[in-house]
Amino acid sequence: MGVLIVACAACTVKPSPSPTATATLQQTPLVTPLPATNTFPAPILETTAPPAATLLPPPDASGVAIVYPKDGNLWLFRDGDVVQLTTSGTAYAPRFSPDGQQIAYLRQVDKFHLELWAINVDGTNERRLVSVADMDAIGAAVRLQGAVAINPLRFAWISGGHVIAFNSQQIFQGPSPARLDDLNLMDADTGQLTFSLLAGWGGEFVFAPDGSQVAISTPTQIILANPD
């Protein structure tokens, strides 16, 4: 089933500065994999359920735009026209940027690996934001034996710019994925990747509507912090 993301002209976004700080925490990370079962299912590349259709600012002043995946490619509906944006056949989970000008999405590289990509709403400047090598670097210090991949788990645009926050997980051939409980930031304009909270220090996250603060749920506590 495709994921619908709707852009609405009535929404407005208050700009806020893009975070620039990089975490320097050195405490030993904590990673707790889920227990294995007696049966080993096929690898799960995404464990979170896709969100329902979301109202977001429009890509232009014309009204409503919808981006959705079909047959592994992204399609844009706007002004009564449907335009194919990508051709790789491996794209899914698209998300509009706060200003509606860019679309971030996941792209499947092979059976186990995922990357984070972005494209402009007019179909130009398709580029890879977070590569397999980047994900390997994110999980290098805590990678468990038998992990075949480190993948993005959940990603979301931060209001007020083109910065994407995401966390990650380890993928195994047999047992269920293991969350890294991290938090990373990617500037989709500059390509700068910031390891905001290293593995064991982050977790599930929700940013304030204006992007000024982030709430982070860890296995033991809830943290409220500034994006830096």
Element (H, E) at 132: helix 132-138
Does this model's pTM top 0.75? My answer is no
- Number of separate helices (H) and strands (E) present in the chain: 1, 17
3-state helix, strand, coil in the chain (%, to 5): 5, 40, 55
Q: How far apart are CA 201 and CA 195, in angstroms?
A: 11
Per-residue pLDDT of the chain (228 residues; tens, 9 = 90+): 344 443 433 333 344 444 433 333 334 343 434 343 333 334 434 434 444 444 444 444 457 899 999 999 999 998 889 999 999 999 999 999 999 999 999 999 999 999 999 999 999 999 999 999 999 999 999 999 999 999 999 999 999 899 999 999 999 998 788 999 999 999 999 999 999 888 988 999 999 999 999 999 988 899 999 888
Q: How far apart are CA 218 and CA 201, in angstroms?
A: 7
Q: How far apart are CA 185 and CA 8, in angstroms?
A: 26
